[in-house]
Amino acid sequence: MAEIKIPELAESITEGTIAQWVKKVGDRVEKGEFIMELETDKVNAEIISEEAGVLTQILAEEGDTVQVGQVVAVVEAGEGAAPAPAKEEAPAAPKAEEKPAQEAPKAAAPAPVVEESGERVIASPAARKLAREKGINLADVNPVDLQGRVRVQDVAAHGTAPAAAPVAASNGPVIFAPAADTDRVTIEKMSRRRQTIAKRLLEVKQSTAMLTTFNEIDMTNIMALRKRKQDGFVKENDIKLGFMSFFTKAVVAALKKYPYVNAQISGDEIHLNNFFDIGIAVSTEEGLVVPIVRDANAKNFAEIEKDIAGLAAKARDKKLGLNDMAGGSFTITNGGVFGSLMSTPIMNGTQAGILGMHSIVNRPVAVNGEIEIRPMMYVALSYDHRIIDGKDSVGFLKTVKEMIENPEDLLLNS
């Protein structure tokens, strides 16, 4: 018999949420085979079986929070004969049942859950607990799960509880009870990734003196250069030349000129980074992630484009590893791909700055005293005013602008 435990993924990760089981009780598994996906604060990890055999027990359901080192399944030697259904965990039993018999009948006690059909309903311990508290018969709950497993979300959406007034948490945000008419409200549980994103963004807002400065860039020259070079670039490097490599190169040049934008605060110390690991924000179904282009100062345009494309593909496929996102000295985010004209990006983690790119829009501008229609992009630099003064922030953004408007200078710096 082999126990499947949640492995230690990184020092900062102590728990995760079971995203899905790809194997079910009774399935044959091979040594090293992927049997469960674990969602952590940073990445989704594939949990494998260390032994070959039959999955005989699943001890934690999808959606459950599990700790590093916790046993979540059992694999035993065999060829996959249909096993008996896994037993329900004893801790799911209500406390009222543990009291002496003479104390059991109380009017205030919630009605016990009884599957009147006589058939045991498959449900998570959390779902059974909530059903008992609400006096809901699990057999009456319509599960979303195709295999018929009842989860806590299914019980909560059963709609037996009356509408309640908003309840304020003692040390947190206001929490609203679901409406009685469930057709009017769709309730989704925040994923672990979304909870982490929300928590960290709030921490940045509360723990930094964040300020944003803006500028605009005439994209005429870089668009013309990109058009001239595109065919040869693709032929030579088997990847398209995008704007992100230009902006990454421009950011590196500006960071060298203004090193405090590439710094971090640690207690009462300022740590000036002598490396240029540039985070590139990538949008996924579960939220924004920021994989890192390592040593961007030492890479050419093709290498940067390939790094960005590879990291974006890994992000979409949920294949990013912890090393792909650890560290980073500065971040670039491009809201323009979604149509954003202007925004104030929030800094990433303990970094001191983030550059926001936006949509390229043809606008009338004054050029040598004449009005011309030019492709223009607003750019924004959000920065930590505790480290970076206005002079450096404006100078940094002005340097990025000058580099992009004169892209030949970037080629000379490569």
| Residue 403 phi, psi dihedral angles, 5° rounding | -65, -45
Find the angle CA(372)-CA(374)-CA(377) to the nearest 5 degrees.
Answer: 145
Catalytic residue (choose from 238, 271, 389, 392): 389
Tell me the pTM: 0.61
Structure tokens given for 46: 């594939």
Q: For residue 192, what pLDDT is reported? A: 72
Instruction: Check if the beta carbon of residue 343 is closer than 8 Å to that of residue 354.
Output: no
Instruction: Check if the beta carbon of residue 174 is closer than 8 Å to that of residue 168.
Output: yes
Structure tokens given for 337: 């791909």
Amino acid (one-letter) located at 178: P
CA dihedral 169, 173, 174, 178 (to 10 degrees): -100
385 catalytic residue (yes or no): yes
Catalytic residue (choose from 268, 385, 392, 409): 385
Q: CA distances (Å), 228 to each of 89, 238, 410, in order? A: 67, 16, 16
Q: For residue 406, what pLDDT is reported? A: 93
CA dihedral 190, 195, 197, 198 (to 10 degrees): 100
Q: For residue 117, what pLDDT is reported? A: 45
Instruction: Check if the beta carbon of residue 64 is closer than 8 Å to that of residue 17.
Output: yes
158 catalytic residue (yes or no): no
Q: CA distances (Å), 306 to each of 38, 240, 299, 325, in order? A: 28, 9, 10, 16
Q: For residue 2, what pLDDT is reported? A: 82
Q: What tens-digit pLDDT sequence spans the chain (414 residues)?
A: 788 888 887 666 788 888 888 888 888 888 888 888 887 766 777 888 888 888 888 888 888 888 888 888 888 877 654 444 444 444 444 444 444 444 444 434 433 344 444 455 676 666 777 777 788 887 788 776 555 667 766 777 776 444 444 444 445 555 555 555 567 788 877 777 777 778 878 888 888 889 999 999 999 999 999 999 999 999 999 999 999 999 999 999 999 999 999 999 888 899 999 999 999 999 887 778 899 999 999 999 999 999 999 999 998 888 888 788 888 999 999 999 899 999 999 998 789 999 999 999 999 999 999 999 999 999 999 999 999 999 999 999 999 999 999 998 777 665
Q: Which domains does the chain have, with CATH numbers?
A: 2-76 (2.40.50.100), 195-413 (3.30.559.10)
Structure tokens given for 268: 């009462």
| Residue 372 phi, psi dihedral angles, 5° rounding | -130, 155
